[in-house]
Chains A and B, each alone.
Chain A
Amino acid sequence: MNWSVIPRYWPQMYSGLLMTLQISLVALLISIPIGILIGLGRISRNSVIRFFAGFYVEFIRGVPLLVLLIWIFFVLGRFLRLGSYWAAIWGLAVFSSAFIAEVVRAGIQAVPKGQMEAARSSGMSYIQAMRLVILPQAFRKILPPMAAQFIILIKDSSLVSTISVVDLTLVGKNLVATTFRSLEVWTFVALVYFVITFALSQGVRYLERKYQVVE
């Protein structure tokens, strides 16, 4: 064993780690508004909207992330001239939005029916009632799983190395190819993923406790 590869190549690894965090975070930020819209669509009174929102969620959940990434990069990316960076972000964002949509739907449906009735009976429109009464309450239930989704994204994002985004995983692969220190490099890469996700999951626990519903 020779662990000196780690400090020697730390700068590359560090920039790979930043790439991993960056694409995960940007994908999350894009997936939140999309997920909220799709989640609202899932409970819309308009059956056409409901159908398409449901189809979106089912479709995305039915396709493996790796296939989605490859498809966006090679098929969509060619038409839209997406580089691997944006293909990776959109792939992760679309994938994550289906999950967020379900979280949003469940959060809204967990708000008692009487809340919507009270809001509507005071003359609020459906949209006002959602914005002023339902979503602020659903938000407490939605926030912890949304934060948890960030952790999932960080782990899932290792797949973007297959469309040649230089994230932590791809840096690891490249290092092994040049140094042949497979044990040291992969052990370290795994540890870095673990330390980041473990720290974040402590943060999620805190959020869960903080927003433990005060009804």
Chain B
Amino acid sequence: MEAMISVQTVNKSFGSFEVLKDVDVQVPKGQVFALIGPSGAGKSTLIRTINALEGIDSGAILVDGVSVHAKKAKVNQIRAGIGFVFQSFNLYPHLNAVDNVAVAPMHVKGTKKAAAREKAKELLASLGLDDKFAAHPNQLSGGQQQRVAIARALAMDPKVMLFDEPTSALDPEMIKEVLDAIRKLAETGMTMVVVTHEMGFAREICSQVVFMADSKVVEQAPPKEFFSAPTTQRGQDFLEKVLHH
């Protein structure tokens, strides 16, 4: 089966620093991949190349068969089909929750205002935010903001969702509400890549764990295998560190 996200021998440097070295990852449709590894490994950079927030120097990335970094790639159209959730939420502070969610469908897809807002409310309600429609981001907790951000990404009906450490900026008591939202999404069959330090979450809902270190994919395995016996020394060292914290 053809992969929904296909990262093919991608290389990228920031100046003289190689941040991605020959990275290959194939995410089949409907699967959830966890991307883990120490800080500075290149996880954010990799996930950001998938929707062209970062460029690449060589290789190719296909999303649903469409080359993201081709010269004549329709980047805006491609991005419209890829939901991205940031560590720091990046909600629009001048808009309320509903408008945060509705603005892209209205202006990118041309959805009518009433329909876009109606759908935004449905999405927000499905994420447990039915009493926050009119709230501005500064009136919401971190966990609520991140759920609005998830609704914002979903509003474009993406084929793929990418998460870059969606719970790392949250107070501990709010992590669960966001992970639950992602878990629910996984159950709908959404194809997803989640950069995360939540090992329990990765073990529970991901079909594959991709372990990155030093700009490379060091190891990829189903979570059961990876978490019980990483095949590489790098992987063992990393697990030792994170599991003993």
Contact = CB atoms under 8 A, between A and B. Distances in A.
A125 to B, nearest CB: 6
Contacts of A123: 76-77, 79-81, 104, 108-109, 156
Interface residues of B, number: 27
B107 A121 contact: no
Contacts of A214: 93, 136, 138
B90 A118 contact: yes
Given A117-B53, A128-B107, A122 B152 contact: yes
Given A122-B80, A122-B104, A117 B156 contact: no
B138 A132 contact: no
Given A114-B86, A114-B88, A117-B86, A124 B94 contact: no
Contacts of A120: 53, 76, 79
Contacts of A121: 51, 53, 79, 82, 84
B27 interface: no
Interface in A108-129: 112, 114-115, 117-125, 128
Contact of A122 (B88, B93, B136, B153): B153
B103 interface: yes
Contacts of A215: 93, 138
A132 B107 contact: yes
Contacts, number: 64
Contacts of B108: 122-124, 128
Chain A facing B: main interface SS: helix
A31 interface: no
B201 interface: no
Contacts of B90: 112, 114-115, 117-118
A83 to B, nearest CB: 43
Contacts of A128: 107-108
Interface string A188-215: 0000000000000000000000000011
Contacts of A114: 86, 88, 90
A124 B104 contact: yes
A123 B88 CA distance: 19
A122 B51 CA distance: 10
Which of A117, A119, A121 neighbours the largest number of chain B CB atoms within 10 Å of its CB?
A121
B130 to A, nearest CB: 23
Interface of B: 51, 53, 76-77, 79-82, 84, 86, 88, 90-94, 103-104, 107-109, 136, 138, 149, 152-153, 156
